Amino acid sequence: MPAHRRSTHRTRVARRRIGSKLELVLLVAAALFFAMAIQAFAVKPYLIPTPSMLPTLIEGQRVLVDRFSQRIGSRPEHGDITVFHPPSGAEARHGEGQCGAAGEGPSYLDGPLATQSCSRPTGARGETTFIKRVVGLPGDHIEVRDGHVIRNGRQSDEPFAAACGGQVCNLDEIVVPRDSYFLMGDNRDDSNDSRFWGPVPRAWIIGKAVATYWPLSRIGAP
């Protein structure tokens, strides 16, 4: 093969290699982009950080959260296990949260208010994320007796709820405000939830847990 043809051949081979590498880089970049887009707008993994959802979800379990349905207007329903932003200050140990606007309401477990639920949340949204079960929709009359939710005068069927005994197991009735939701952990005796800092506005809800993928022994619907 003449020298000029060998040179042309080597140039073509080099260009093909560069093209293949560039194509691979673009494919990887596209895959990463779509993976990030799916997490941002559709489905996102979430780690269960506490035992507040026992026995349904154990600490360290991982679930997939459907964010897309919430974005297109789907509304939470009774029984949904939901990831959301709680009111500001909810990170405090339960029993030390504030009802109503931050700093304006009494502490939930403060003396004679020991069995009063918060009728409204603090005004600001917290930055952390919680996972709890929806037990009250807008307009529902909610009270708790011996750890069981009484909704609109009837005791809810809650086979998933752990036994509860103590002060937090009895709460006076409230009416869930418009566009807000009352959320509680299944581990009623050890859950920092709406009993302490009030209902959660719909705008603060991220999405519904639709599947669990770790540990392998618990794969399936939560």
Which residues are annotated as catalytic? 52, 132
Tokens of residue 142, six digits: 């909610």
Helices (runs of H) and strands (runs of E) counted in the chain: 3, 11
The beta strand positions in 11-162, using DSSP E, are 43-47, 62-66, 81-84, 130-136, 141-145, 148-151, 154-155
State how far the Cα of 89 lies from the Cα of 35, in Å rounded to an integer.
33
Measuring CA to CA, which residue among 190, 178, 191, 69 is closest to residue 131? 191
State how far the Cα of 75 lies from the Cα of 63, in Å rounded to an integer.
20
What's the Cα-to-Cα distance from 44 to each of 35, 58, 149, 211, 215, rounded to whole Å? 10, 18, 30, 11, 17
Q: Which helix (H) or strand (E) holds 117?
A: none
Q: Give the contacts of 210 (CB within 8 A, at least 6 positions apart).
A: 43, 63, 64, 65, 66, 221, 222
List, in sequence order, the alpha helices (H) in 169-214: 194-197
